Amino acid sequence: MSILMDGSTRLLVQGITGAEGSQHARRSVEYGTNVVAGVTPGRGGQKMDEVPVFNTVEQAARETGANVSIIFVPAAGAADAILEAEDAGIPLVICITEGVPVLDMVTVKRTLIGSKTRLIGPNCPGIITPKAKSRAGIMPVQVFTPGKVGVVSRSGTLVYEGVAQLTANGIGQSTSVGVGGDPIIGTSQREVLEMFNHDPETEAVVLIGEIGGNAEQDAAEYISSSMKKPVIAFIAGSTAPPGRRMGHAGAIISGNTGTAKAKKDALSAAGVTIVQTPAEIGATAKRVLTECGLF
Amino acid sequence: MKIHEYQAKQILAEFGVPVPKGRVARTPEEAKEIAEELGGKVVVKAQIHAGGRGKGGGVKLATSPAEAEHAARAIIGMQLVTHQTGPEGQKVKAVVVEEQMAIERELYLAVVIDNVAGRPAIMASAAGGMEIEEVAATSPEQIHRVTVDPAAGFQPFLARELAYAVGLDGDSVRLAVQLMGALYKAFIANDASLAEINPLVVTNDGRLLALDAKFNFDDNALYRHPEVVALRDLDEENPLEVEAQSMGINNYIKLEGNIGCVVNGAGLAMATMDSIKFAGGEPANFLDIGTVNDPQRVVGAFKVIKSDPAVKAILINIFGGMARVDVIAEGVIAAFKQMDVGMPVVVRLEGTNLEQGAKMLAESGLPVIRATDLGSAAREAVQAAGGLS
C-alpha cells in the first residue's frame, strides 16, 4: 500500500511532446513507472519513445486504461487540460504547471465538486511512491527511498530538501506528495494527512508548510481530532518580513493566521513536533521515530 | 500588479459604478482648470500606489480653483511618506481633482478571492474609511462576507444580504445591489485579485459613490489583459525588482541584509533565508529563479544581486527537480565570464543532473565555495559575508 499511486498506476502524460513533458516522462519510465500514453493535440498516432501519443485524453484513456494523468501544458491551457482529464473520468490528475490564473482555478475547483476526479496541484512537484517505483512529477528520483514515512508539502523544492534529509538519516518514505504552492489547489495538506492516517504502510508523517493562508491550521485541526500517527512539521518563512508577499495571498481574509508563528503554534498545540531550522528536518524526524519505537 | 486610484475609478465608471466627478492632473495649472469645471469646491489627492495618503499630507481640500492650484503645487513633486511607502517615501507625479461630496455614511466594499472556498468573495463593512486589516484585527464581527458560486455568477440576493448587514435601507439597498453587481463584473472581467472601494459613501442626497478605489490584478492572467498592463506605472515599483523582471526573474524581493540569495522554488528560497538568519546572518533578498532552464537567467540573477550595493556574498542553493543542476552550473560559469563577480560565492547543488553540474563547476576552476547541505551552506555564506551580523 501507499497513497494515491502504487503498482497499479497507469500514467498518462498531457503535454508529452513538450520539452519538460518528454524529459520527465522519460525519467518516470527509467524509474520504472508504467507510462501508458501521452496526449498532444495534433500529434495523435505518433510515439514519444515507446509511448503512444493521442489527440485527446478521452481516446488515450479509452485505449490504454490510463488511471492517472500528469499535466505539463503551459499555464494558459492548464485549466482546459485539467477539465479534459476530468471529463474523461481520470480518477487522479496532477498538474505541474506554474502560473495558472486564479479565476481559471475557480472554474476548475467548481467543476470538481461531486466529480470522481481528484486534482493535485497546480504548481506542484507531483507524487512519488518509491516502493512501487511509481513517479508522476518532476522530482529528482535519487533522493527518494522506500520506507514508512509519508511526506506532504506545499513547496516542491522543500519536498526534495526534506526527503534528502530523511534518506540521509536512513528514513524511507511511503509516498511523497507536493500539494502545490498556489492559492487555490485541488487537494489540501489536511486531505493528504487523512489518507496517510488510513494507509497501513505509513507510520509517521512529515508535513512541510509555509507562510500565508491557513492550510496548516486546518491540518492541525485534523491532527488534533483524528491523527493516530506522529507528525513532524517544518514551516518555511519564519524570518520572512511582514507585509511582503513571498508567493502567497489572503492575509486580509485570514487576519494573523498567515505567520509562521501562528502555524507552528497551531500544529504544536495539536501534538506535532516542530522542526526549528530547515537543516534539521531529517534529524528531528529520526529523533521522533526513535522515541516512538519506529526507528 | 497595482494601479493608481484614478485608473481604478476609470475601470469602475466603465462598469457602471458611480464615482465622483473629476480627473487626473499632472500640473497645478491643469488642477486649476479641472477645479473651475467642477465649480471650485474640490478635493486634491496625491496619486501614488501606497495607502495612508491623507495622513502624510497628500490629500487637501480646496474651496476655489486658485486654492486647488495651490494644493496641487504643494503635492505634485513632493516625496510622500506613508506607513506603506517606507521612510524614503514616494514621489508624487499626479493628483486627482474631484468634487467634494456631502457624506452621510462611509462603508467598505471589496471583491477578493477566498482561497479556502476557491471562489470570489464580496466583503462589506459599516466601518468604512478605516483600513480593513485594522477592522479585521479589532472588530472582525463588523466584516460581512458572501462567496459567489462561479457556476451561477453574481446574484442580487447576495448583495441584499450585505446591504442589510451594513445597515442600508430603502432605495439605497437597490443602489447597493446595482453597485455590487457592477463591481463584481469589473473584478471578473479584469482578472483582478482585489477590487476595493473604501470608503463607499452614502451622500446626503441618497446617492452611493466610490470615493476611493483600489484594484490589484492577478499577475498570472496579465497575458490576456494588455489594456491592464498598459496601466502599469514602473516608477511606483522597486527599481531592483523591475530590473529583475526584465531579466525574467519575477520573484525577487529586496530585503535589508548582505547575503544575496539565488534559489529555485519559493519554499526553498524562504527556507534558505531562514537558514541564513539561524546561522546569524541577514539575507539581502528573496529570489526564486524559477524552473525555466536557461543559463542566462542565472547570469541575470547575478546582475540583479550585484546591483544591490549592500551585498557582500552570494549563496546559490539549488535543489533541482524541473530545474537542472547542469544548466545552473553553466549559468554560474557564464556569470563569472561575463562580469567581475568580486565577492565570495557559496554554491550548494543537489538534484536533477547533479553529477554533470558538479563536474562542470569543478572543472571550471572557479573560486566558488562548495557546500553539501543547507545548514553548512548558510554558515559558509554568513562567514563569507564577514561573520555574524
For residues B122 and B160, state if they share a domain.
yes
Quick one: pLDDT at residue A254? 46
Q: Do A158 and B291 touch (CB under 8 A)?
A: no
pLDDT at A256: 65
C-alpha to C-alpha distance for B349 and B290, rounded to whole angstroms: 15
Q: Give the pLDDT of residue A252.
A: 38
Number of domains comprising chain B: 3
Quote the pLDDT of residue B85.
85
A139 contacts chain B (CB < 8 A): yes
Segment (H or E) for A270? none
Contacts of B122-126 with CB under 8 Å at 24 or more apart are B122/B146, B122/B147, B122/B148, B122/B158, B122/B159, B122/B162, B122/B180, B122/B183, B122/B184, B124/B162, B124/B163, B124/B165, B124/B166, B125/B166, B126/B166, B126/B167
Task: Mark which of B68, B100, B132 sits at the end of a domain.
Answer: B100
What is the least distance, in Å, from the CA of B168 to any CA of chain A? 23
> Residue B14: which CATH number?
3.30.470.20
Whole-angstrom Cα distance, residue A182 to residue A124? 8
Dihedral angle computed from the Cα positions of residues B145, B147, B148 and B151, in that order, rounded to the nearest 10 degrees: -170
Contact (Cβ atoms closer than 8 angstroms) between residue A294 and residue A203: yes
* E strand or H helix at A103: helix A102-111
> B113 falls in which pLDDT band (50, 70, 90)?
very high
Proportion of chain B in helix, strand, coil states, percent, rounded to 5: 40, 25, 35
Nearest to B267 among A96, A103, A155 (CB): A155
Task: Tell me: do B117 and B131 sit in the same domain.
Answer: yes
A-B Cβ pairs (cutoff 8 Å, strict): 177
List the 113-142 stretch of B: residues with Cβ below 8 A of A.
Answer: 113-116, 118-121, 132-133, 136-137, 140
Pair B212, B357 in one domain: no
Could you list the residue range(s) of the whole structural domain that residue B318 is in?
238-384
Per-residue pLDDT 10s for chain A (295 aa) are: 689 999 999 999 999 999 999 999 999 999 999 999 999 999 999 999 999 999 999 999 999 999 999 999 999 999 999 999 999 999 999 999 999 999 999 999 999 999 999 999 999 999 999 999 999 999 999 999 999 999 999 999 999 999 999 999 999 999 999 999 888 999 999 999 999 999 999 999 999 999 888 899 999 999 999 999 999 999 999 888 776 767 544 333 445 678 899 999 999 999 999 999 999 999 999 999 999 999 8
CA-based nearest residue in chain A for residue B136: A255
CB contact under 8 A, A164 and B319: yes
Cell of B174: 437597490
A91 vs A85: CA distance, rounded Å? 9
**What pLDDT was estimated at residue B134?**
83
Question: Touching check for B42 and chain A: CB below 8 Å?
Answer: no
Residue B223 lies in a domain: yes
- Nearest 5°: CA angle at B136, between B130 and B139? 85
Residues B294, B326, single domain; the answer is: yes
**Average pLDDT value for residue range B362-378:** 93
Q: Minimal Cα–Cα distance from A183 to chain B, Å?
A: 6
Q: What is the CATH number of the domain that holds B58?
A: 3.30.1490.20
B63-93: pLDDT as tens digits: 999 999 999 999 999 999 988 888 889 999 9
Say if B191 is an interface residue toward chain A (CB within 8 Å). Answer: yes
Same domain, B270 and B205: no
Domain shared by B289 and B319, yes or no: yes
> Is residue B389 in a domain?
no
C-alpha separations of B84 from A205, A256, B236, B256, B331 in Å = 40, 18, 12, 16, 36
**Distance to chain A for B213, nearest Cα, Å:** 17
Whether residues B169 and B193 fall in one domain:
yes
Query: Which pLDDT belongs to residue A1?
Result: 65
**CATH number of the domain enclosing B326:** 3.40.50.261
**Residues B324/B327/B329/B334 CA torsion (nearest 10 deg):** -160
Q: What is the mean pLDDT of residues B210-215?
A: 96
A contact residues 28-67, partner B, Cβ 8 Å cutoff: none
Q: Which residue has the higher pLDDT, B247 or A55?
A: A55
**In terms of domains, do B324 and B314 share one?**
yes
Cross-chain residue pair A140–B278, CB shorter than 8 Å: no
Given CB atoms, is B223 within the 8 Å cutoff of chain A? Answer: yes
The verdict on a CB contact (< 8 Å) between B322 and A96 is: yes
Question: Residue B221 has what pLDDT?
Answer: 97
Element (H, E) at A129: strand A126-129
**Residue B274 is assigned to a structural domain of this protein:** yes
Which residues of B carry out catalysis? 108, 196
- Angle A109-A218-B276 (CA atoms, 0-180°, nearest 5)? 105
What is the least distance, in Å, from the CA of A147 to any CA of chain B? 20
In chain B, the largest separation of any two C-alpha atoms, in whole Å, equals: 79
Are B34 and B84 in the same domain?
Answer: yes
H or E stretch including A136?
strand A134-137
What letter does residue A142 receive in the DSSP assignment? G
The answer to whether A83 contacts chain B (CB < 8 Å) is no
- Pair B362, B352 in one domain: yes
B274 close contact with A: CB closer than 8 A: yes
Amino acid identity, residue B224? R
Closest residue of B to A239, CA-based? B274
CB-based contact B166:B146 (threshold 8 Å): no
Chain centre distance of CA B128: 22
Asked whether residue B117 falls in the same domain as residue B207, the answer is yes
Query: Alpha helices, DSSP H only, in chain B?
Result: 5-14, 28-37, 65-75, 132-138, 156-165, 171-189, 226-229, 239-246, 266-278, 295-306, 325-338, 354-364, 374-384
Question: By the CB < 8 Å criterion, does A103 face chain B?
Answer: yes
Does A98 contact B350 at a Cβ distance shorter than 8 Å?
no
CB contact under 8 A, B267 and A143: no
Q: Which residues contact B370 (CB under 8 A, 6 or more apart)?
A: B346, B347, B348, B361
Report the C-alpha gap between B82 and B57 in whole angstroms. Answer: 9
pLDDT > 90: percent of chain B: 80
Q: Is residue B306 part of a domain?
A: yes
Q: Give, in order, the Cα–Cα distances in Å from A58 to each of A291, B37, B54.
A: 50, 63, 58
B271-318: per-residue pLDDT in tens? 999 999 999 999 999 999 887 678 999 999 999 999 899 999 999 999
Residue type, A174: S
Q: Do B266 and A247 touch (CB under 8 A)?
A: yes
How many degrees, rounded to 5, is the angle at CA B344 between CA B339 and CA B350? 95
pLDDT given at position B388: 60
Q: Tell me which residue of A193, A195, A145, A135 sits closest to A170, measured CA to CA.
A: A145
Q: Given an 8 Å threshold on Cβ–Cβ distance, is B268 in contact with A239? A: no
**Residues B4 and B139 reside in one and the same domain:** yes
Q: Final residue of a domain: which of B60, B76, B100?
A: B100
What are the grid coordinates assigned to A17, written together?
A: 511532446
